[in-house]
Homo-oligomer: A and B are copies of this chain.
């Protein structure tokens, strides 16, 4: 692959407001990344008219027509069988076939995960993909995974997530030596269920060359106590959405406060500029674009309900990862980690 022209595959039909939102989002991304080309997978009859209003994109994309789509409520197993010609699957296959450096979809998460796993296959040493995303904290930015790919995880999965999160924090967030923590209901070793305790014991034992902090609690996520928060997909999904909802609640309370009296309204006028900075710093669209880690290819999942600005940011994540050769680095690092893990596991295996 030459660096001259980076191509990103887009599932043009995925997302609540697709395909309009996808086309608008890609048009915004065009201004930001002038050298990227896009493959749009979807219904040509619906996409063509939209491209008339997205001139920048129109000159830098190719449409790959398909009328099939994956509905939001389709089970992943059904999508795998019936969705082989869907916009989502064909966009993923373009990455497998080397036609695109990465794929972005705002569609059905479970289906995207299942299809990506089948089409792209897992990296050596990783059993299951994980969804990772970064978010604002008191100390900068941190990454959390899994955010919903696996509703149930065993200790081994959590250890692999720790390894992937470590690489992600180093390559994407630029942490030199990321601090990794496992999400739990308390910081003491005895807390939590078997899976988190066993995973923590493995990491504490130094099986992997990562800096393990121990257990963290829910309030440690926004506090930024660690750079990488490791958890199962059920808990991670709930935690992420709870944080987003709480930020929204707070914003509403503030809006109400500033409208409650004319004195407060004057206060708002003075503080407006500074408050807008807070809003932009905590804007969920800024953090849109979750990465499916552990696959032989770059797959970015956008929020289904995002707008064009949010979708453009998700494209940005895919472009950044492709430009920085994220997957090559994660593959190298995982090989090293897996070797270390095997070395660490050998004496234990012999002792059984």
Contacts and interface: CB of A to CB of B under 8 A. Distances in A.
Contacts of A136: 249
Contacts of A75: 190
A219 B241 contact: yes
Interface stretch (A266-274, A287-295, A308-316, A336-344): A266-274
A183 B223 contact: no
A33 to B, nearest CB: 29
A223 B238 contact: no
Given A267-B268, A271-B268, A151 B192 contact: yes
A6 to B, nearest CB: 33
A151 B274 CA distance: 42
Interface of A is mostly: helix
Given A151-B192, A245-B221, A267 B272 contact: yes
Interface stretch (A49-57, A113-121, A275-283): A275-283
A181 interface: no
Interface stretch (A171-179, A198-206, A253-261, A325-333): A253-261
Count copies of this chain in the complex. 2
Interface string A219-257: 111110000000101110111111111111110111011
Contacts of A241: 217-219
B267 A138 contact: no
A257 B222 CA distance: 18
B249 A222 contact: yes
B271 A258 contact: yes
A124 interface: no
Contact of A152 (B151, B193, B217, B260): B193
The 7 nearest A-B residue pairs measured at CB: A267-B271, A218-B241, A267-B270, A219-B245, A218-B242, A264-B274, A222-B249
Interface of A: 72-73, 75, 136-138, 148, 151-152, 183, 185, 188, 190, 192-193, 217-223, 231, 233-235, 237-250, 252-254, 256-258, 260-261, 263-264, 266-275, 277-278, 281-282
Given A137-B249, A217-B237, 15 more contacts: A75-B190, A138-B249, A138-B252, A152-B193, A192-B234, A231-B238, A235-B235, A243-B243, A246-B246, A250-B278, A254-B275, A257-B274, A257-B278, A260-B277, A267-B267
